[in-house]
Amino acid sequence: MAKGLFATYHPAVCMLFFLTAICFTFCTQHPVYVALTCIMAGAYLVYLRGVRPFLRSLGMFIPMVLFVGILNSLFNSAGATSLWKWGPFSVTVEGMCYGLAVGGMLAAILLWFSCYNEVMTEDKFTYLFGRKLPTISLMVSMISRWIPRMVSRGHSVYDSQEALIGGYDQTKSGKMKRGLRMATVLTGLGMEDSVQTADSMCARGYGATSRTSYARFKWHTRERIVLGLLIVLLVVNVVLLVTGTGSFKFYPRVSAIVPLWGYLTYALMLGLPFLVELERFKR
């Protein structure tokens, strides 16, 4: 796995980190904060996936980011420096700045979620919720087992239908009918087969007592240190945010950006996945 060291940490640490990153990103439109979170999320995603896949996923985000950004700058009359006005549309410098910030924020959120998808694989997710939601997390695992089955069975039902009766009716409605027939086969057969799965579960004592879970993750000193560091950074940043470092006024006029130490702690917190990589340079 070329996913970096952070992905090997305990799921709780990873989860807390992503929650922190995403919540902070949501909470502030301060241009420096937005820029920092964008850079950090982007850098981490490049680190996880490589440049090409990063650019590809960036391409998928752009329409949504643009939509939200434009929406925020076009329909905002709160700004003082008006550039252009037509009916309800009023474009102001402040509005555009705000739109840029919100767009950046959304981009950062989407980037963080992409990182999350790489790091928090399904087994980590089910592990985290395995204790509180034993049935649901088992079900997620079972569903993940059934999806590829459904897909391959779907393909083979589709093929066999096309081979048998496809030749008679190549119209759109014929194809739709066969699609529905395929859905019926998949459901009927799936339900029938699932009863055997249920039997197999019973045979192995499902429901006999409270489930425990085969934990593949352990707490090591390293995990505790990183968790402690994350919590400290989290508290410091919350304090800074609440006391005003993170607040920023777009309206009526964009306020000035002043250099602050707070930005550094924010960058440190979001750069945690890179910080743990420093371990490689030990000795």
Q: Which stretch binds another protein (CB under 8 A): 8-16, 140-148, 230-238, 271-279?
A: 140-148
Tokens standing for residue 255: 């306020």
Q: How far apart are CA 185 and CA 190, in angstroms?
A: 8
Give CA torsion, residues 4, 6, 7, 12, to 10 deg. Answer: 180
Kindly identify the residues of this chain, within the stretch 233-252, that bind another protein according to CB under 8 A.
none
Minimum distance, C-beta of residue 199 to another protein, in the bound complex (Å) = 6
Count the site residues for another protein by CB under 8 A.
104
- Exactly one of 62, 83, 176, 235 binds another protein (CB under 8 A); which one? 176
Q: How far apart are CA 40 and CA 118, in angstroms?
A: 15
Number of Cβ within 10 Å of residue 159's Cβ equals 11
Kindly identify the residues of this chain, within the stretch 76-135, that bind another protein according to CB under 8 A.
76-78, 88-89, 98, 102, 106, 109-110, 113-114, 116-117, 122-123, 125, 133-135
- Exactly one of 5, 43, 66, 68 binds another protein (CB under 8 A); which one? 68
Picking from 106, 103, 104, 113, the residue whose alpha carbon sits closest to that of residue 36 is 104
Q: How far apart are CA 162 and CA 48, in angstroms?
A: 41
Minimum distance, C-beta of residue 74 to another protein, in the bound complex (Å) = 8
Q: How far apart are CA 187 and CA 125, in angstroms?
A: 27
Kindly identify the residues of this chain, within the stretch 187-216, that bind another protein according to CB under 8 A.
187-216
Kindly identify the residues of this chain, within the stretch 144-173, that bind another protein according to CB under 8 A.
144-151, 153-160, 162-169, 172
